[in-house]
Amino acid sequence: MAEEAPKKFLEPLFWTLFSAGGVVAALLMPVHIFLFGLALPLGWLQDLSHGRALALIEHPLVRIYLFVFCSLPLFHWAHRFRYTLYDGLQIKHLNEVITVFCYGGAIIGTALAGYVLWSIP
Amino acid sequence: MAETIQLEVTRYSPEHDAAPALQRFEVPYRKDWVVLDALNYIKDKLDGSLSYRWSCRMGICGSCGMMVNGEPKLTCATFLSHYAPGAVRVEPLRYFPVVRDLVIEMTDFMVKLQKVKPWIIRKDEKSIADGEYRQTPQQLDVYKQFSMCINCMLCYAACPVYGLDPLFTGPAAIALAQRYNMDSRDEGARERMDILSQHEGIWACTFVGECTKACPKNVDPAGAIQQYKLTAAKEWFKSLLVPWGAK
Amino acid sequence: MTRHEAKGATQYTPYHPRWYRTRVSTYWWLWKWYYLKFVLRELSSIFVAYFVVITLLQIHSLGRGPDAYVRFEERMRNPLMIALNAISFLFVLFHTITWFNLAPRAMVAHLGGKRVPDALIACSNYVAWLAISAVVAWFILR
**Of C12, C20, C105, which is closest to B223 when you measure between CB atoms?**
C105
What's the confidence (pLDDT) of residue B47? 96
The mean pLDDT value for B205-221 works out to: 95
What's the confidence (pLDDT) of residue A74? 97
What's the confidence (pLDDT) of residue C2? 38
For residue C13, the chain B residues in CB contact (below 8 A) are 97, 105, 107-108, 166
Angstrom distance (rounded) from CA B20 to CA B106? 18
Q: Which residue has the higher pLDDT, A4 or B121?
A: B121
**Of B160, B198, B204, which is closest to A9 when you measure between CB atoms?**
B198
Q: What is the value of pTM for the model shown? A: 0.90
**pLDDT confidence tier of residue B196, bands split at 50, 70 and 90:** confident
pLDDT digits (tens, 9 = 90+) for C46-81: 999 999 999 999 999 998 989 999 999 999 999 999
Q: Do C85 and A109 touch (CB under 8 A)?
A: no
Lowest mean pLDDT among B65-79, B193-207, B217-231: B193-207
| ipTM entry | 0.90
- Whether A115 is covered by a domain: the verdict is yes
**Of C29, C32, C106, which is closest to B230 when you measure between CB atoms?**
C106
For residue A9, the chain B residues in CB contact (below 8 A) are 198
User: What average pLDDT does chain C have?
Assistant: 87
Nearest chain C alpha carbon to A53:
C62
For residue B200, the chain C residues in CB contact (below 8 A) are 10
Q: Where in chain B is the domain with CATH 3.10.20.30?
A: 4-104
Task: Report the candidate in B203, B3, C93 with the shortest Cα–Cα distance to residue A19.
Answer: B203
Angstrom distance (rounded) from CA B215 to CA B73? 9
Write phi, then psi, for B142 (nearest 5 degrees).
-60, -35
Q: Do C92 and A33 touch (CB under 8 A)?
A: yes
Domain map (residue ranges) of chain C = 15-90
Q: Where in chain B is the domain with CATH 1.10.1060.10?
A: 107-241
Q: Show the domain range for A28.
A: 16-34+50-119
What's the confidence (pLDDT) of residue C44? 96
**pLDDT confidence tier of residue B48, bands split at 50, 70 and 90:** very high
Domain B107-241 of CATH type 1.10.1060.10: yes
Q: Looking at chain B from residue 156 to 195, which residues have their Cβ under 8 Å from any Cβ of chain A?
A: 160-161, 164-165, 167
Does B46 contact chain A (CB < 8 Å)? Answer: no
The mean pLDDT value for B102-128 works out to: 93
Task: Report the candidate in C19, C17, C16, C11 with the shortest Cα–Cα distance to residue B103.
Answer: C19
- Whether A40 is covered by a domain: the verdict is no
The mean pLDDT value for B206-224 works out to: 96
Angstrom distance (rounded) from CA C142 to CA C127? 22
Lowest mean pLDDT among A14-23, A74-83, A99-108, B231-240: B231-240
The mean pLDDT value for B56-72 works out to: 96
Percentage above 90 pLDDT, chain C = 63
Out of 3.40.1010.10, 3.10.20.30, 1.10.3720.10, 3.40.50.2300, which CATH number does the structure's domain B4-104 have? Answer: 3.10.20.30
Q: Which uninterrupted H or E stretch holds A28?
A: helix A11-32
**pLDDT confidence tier of residue C6, bands split at 50, 70 and 90:** very low
Give me the architecture of the C15-90 domain, per CATH.
Up-down Bundle (1.20)
